Copies of this chain bind each other. A is one copy, B any other.
Amino acid sequence: YGYTGLTLTKYVMTIMIGALTGFIAFIMESAMKHGLHFKAECTAWALETQGLGGGFAIHATISLSLVIFASGLVQFYSPESAGGGVTLVKAFLNGIHIPHLLSVRTLIAKIVGTTAGVLSSLAVGPEGPMVHIGACVAAVLTTPFQTSSFREELSTGHDRGHYPSKRQSKWFNSRLFVSLLSDVDQREFVSAGTAAGLAAAFGAPIGGVLFALEEASSFWNHKVTWRCFLCAASASFVLAFLHGTNTGLVSLEGLKNPSQVQWMQQTPFMILVAGLSGLIGGIFNVLHSWLAAYRAPRSSPTAPIAEAVVICMVTVGCFFVLPYLFMSCQDRPHDWLEEEYGFRFLCEEGQYDEVATMFFSSSEETIKKILQMGEQTDGGYEDPFTRKSLCIFAGAYLMIMSLACGAAVPGGLFMPSIMLGSSFGAVMGSCLDMWWPNWHIQPGLYALIGATAVLGGVFRSTISIVVIVVEGTGGIEFVFTIIIAIVVSDWVASQVHHHGIYEGDLDRDMRLAFLQTEPPSPYSNIMARDIMSKKVLGLRPLEKASRILEVLRTSSHNGFPVFECVKSLDGDEPVVRRGALQGLILRSQLLVLLKHKQFVHKDAKLEPSPSSRHLSGDQDDDDSLEESGGLQPPSSRELVIDTEMRTFHHRWDAQERYRCKEASLLADYTCAAAGTSATSGSDRQLDHMMVDVSHYMNRSVLTVREECSAAKVYTIFRALGLRHMCVVDDLQHPVGMVTRKDLMCSHSEED
């Protein structure tokens, strides 16, 4: 708290993220609206002039080219932009590094790809992608101008004389930026971005915040809530300002004034409809995970594109075959003409085909019309869709939606779920109205219940969906009904399928070591020693540079325990025992040390390290840099190294950091290091160079005993958001390491 310059910058940043997300939502909405309109007009013109075949040809051509474009974008430009993206954002916020997930590339691919995907007739919506887009915007906006500021520092860093003066002259002092982009801060901004994305998608600021808290974020606190709220509110404001009404990409408005509902009497029906819709949601999840096994492998460059094309053909086929088989023409009401709603297909002039209208029109309009069913208006309003058409539509939609979800095309699930749920609910409501005509049963209300319940069944979020639906419909008077629908559907769906769609995807993706809040149940019976990886790759306090290089090259760990090796004789053979753990050093610290040639002579004694340096390995305590250096003024060279270590993660973003594995970065370091003693880059010369690791390592490492219960290890790991933890025996000798992967692997093995 306290409104310093830093806080103000963060405020402005938050509002900018929200505003930009809102603006992107507006652009996408306009593009999709006009595109769909254009496509429908083309098809209608072709149907009229060229007949059914011509219409199909035109429609299929447009759709297929869009699908090929979208899936090509995913396959060749940005693989991370496939699907909804919420799952990956969720994994990122849990602490998993996913290369390129939140890059500019992904942002562009997502915006363009989602628009193309939605326009291509596939049963995908723009809401899930909006969440990903919001997260990308947050990451992109917070990264670049900071990186550049550090580049500047880096370039001046070598020229040591100017360094401190330059630093003071800047109004934006470096500390501001270090704090701005600590990992934790960026994660908070990304949380706020997801909130803004969903808020823009539904025009639901509070719903967005709740979604970010309930679904996306793994770490909650009061500050994150407030930041999400500000960001979501500014996104909604910008969007509302740009298009004049306060709705989002998908509006659920339509259901109004159900004046004569006997709530008590109808509650059993509502529970029934909610239960059945929840069941459909659960069935969709089952279908989705069953289909996942038959999907084209992502590693192949073209198979996913072919898959997307096939799915698109099936979808377009449905669009034409079903209305053709079940032709149902009705007169087009006057107000529809003004709205340009209703698709003629093969009907007479001035009529519309029910099934074709539902398929070809924009989903938003169709949902609105379904929710309006049974409304008490003055002009004796006829229901626009009959039970038969709705039934056909709902069935076909479940199929094409299951196919589309998981294809290599950017696109989300919210809108399709609402579409499916509302059409199914309307069928049910309409049936109930037919059976009990005196009960004033309003199909639109049941459509809302159905939509809510399918959302609940698919996503298993609770309050966020309630709030999104309440905000989306603007109908606070239905809040109790919506709550009942959510509770019932959550229960029913959990009987059919264990997980929500996101958890299911996370479980399936073996690359993602997602840590749930609670330890898996078998963990309470095993100990830390059962889950740890026993191969400990450690360094000595004074280590040969060549060995450090080797360790860095051959492993992909991020942290290395530091301990002395004690040689002793066990019978005949000499055995090397591990000494007590002295500290932990990070991969990034080692790289900086090598780069700066911090070598000492082989026989040099370890100098006693000043206590103020002990903290330096602590990534989280960025603030302590300036204040803690009071004991003895460090040399400017030490200062540069210190700063570089702290800012390593900001300068090299996640993906580059892992490139080290491929030794490309390391090769540079090797050359640089060798340059001190000779011109050749061979490792031999490095054998004589020692690095004083103990000077830079983090001495206050958190360790656990090997007898500690695995559940406790899990809890500590998760609560503190650790990446590695050292397991020791009762004499503090390291016996193993626990990483995220260890916690996941042993879990899945035992399942």
Contact = CB atoms under 8 A, between A and B. Distances in A.
A557 B223 CA distance: 33
Interface string A466-493: 1100110011110110010001000000
Contacts of A517: 221-223
Contact of A233 (B225, B483, B580): B483
Given A223-B518, A229-B463, A240-B480, 14 more contacts: A3-B494, A206-B467, A206-B479, A213-B220, A214-B225, A225-B462, A246-B479, A467-B467, A471-B479, A525-B627, A614-B707, A618-B712, A719-B720, A720-B720
A521 B1 CA distance: 10
A209 to B, nearest CB: 6
Given A494-B1, A700-B705, A712 B240 contact: no
A7 to B, nearest CB: 10
Interface in A556-579: none
A688 to B, nearest CB: 30
A205 interface: yes
A440 B615 CA distance: 62
A462 B226 contact: yes
A50 interface: no
Nearest to A215: B222
Interface string A387-408: 0000000000000000000000
A119 interface: no
B236 A480 contact: yes
Contact of A209 (B463, B628, B715, B730): B463
Contact of A229 (B462, B494, B618, B700): B462
A732 B214 CA distance: 41
Copies in the complex: 2
Nearest to A525: B627
B707 A699 contact: yes
A40 B462 CA distance: 44
A476 B628 CA distance: 51
A484 to B, nearest CB: 8
A563 to B, nearest CB: 12
A524 to B, nearest CB: 5
A704 B698 CA distance: 12
Contacts of A474: 476-477
B225 A463 contact: yes
A546 B626 CA distance: 51
Interface string A187-221: 00000000000000000011001100110000011
A18 to B, nearest CB: 12
A620 B732 CA distance: 25
A606 interface: no
Given A205-B479, A226-B462, A479-B206, A704 B705 contact: no
B700 A627 contact: no
A405 to B, nearest CB: 23
A624 interface: yes
Closest 10 CB pairs of A and B: A700-B708, A719-B719, A700-B705, A221-B517, A220-B220, A524-B624, A614-B707, A524-B623, A476-B476, A525-B627
Contacts of A705: 699-701
A621 B479 contact: no
B720 A618 contact: no
A186 interface: no
A711 interface: yes
Given A206-B463, A223-B517, A525-B628, A487 B233 contact: yes
15 contacts: A206-B470, A206-B479, A209-B463, A524-B627, A525-B627, A618-B709, A621-B712, A699-B707, A699-B730, A702-B702, A702-B716, A719-B719, A719-B720, A720-B720, A731-B732
A266 to B, nearest CB: 15
Interface in A697-751: 699-705, 707-709, 711-712, 715-716, 719-720, 730-732
B700 A480 contact: no
A262 interface: no
A360 interface: no
Nearest to A517: B221
A295 interface: no
A585 interface: no
A312 B582 CA distance: 66
Contact of A521 (B206, B210, B623): B623
Nearest to A226: B462
A385 interface: no
Nearest to A625: B524
Contacts of A720: 715-716, 719-720
Contacts of A707: 611, 614-615, 699-700
Contacts of A518: 221, 223
Nearest to A477: B474
Which interface residue of A222, A229, A521, A712 has the most chain B CB atoms within 10 A?
Answer: A222
Contact of A702 (B476, B700, B704, B730): B704
A237 interface: yes
Contacts of A220: 213, 220
A633 B570 CA distance: 36
A230 interface: yes
Interface string A230-242: 1001001100100
Interface string A13-42: 000000000000000000000000000000
A648 B701 CA distance: 33
A620 B206 contact: no
Contacts of A702: 702, 704, 716
Contacts of A230: 487
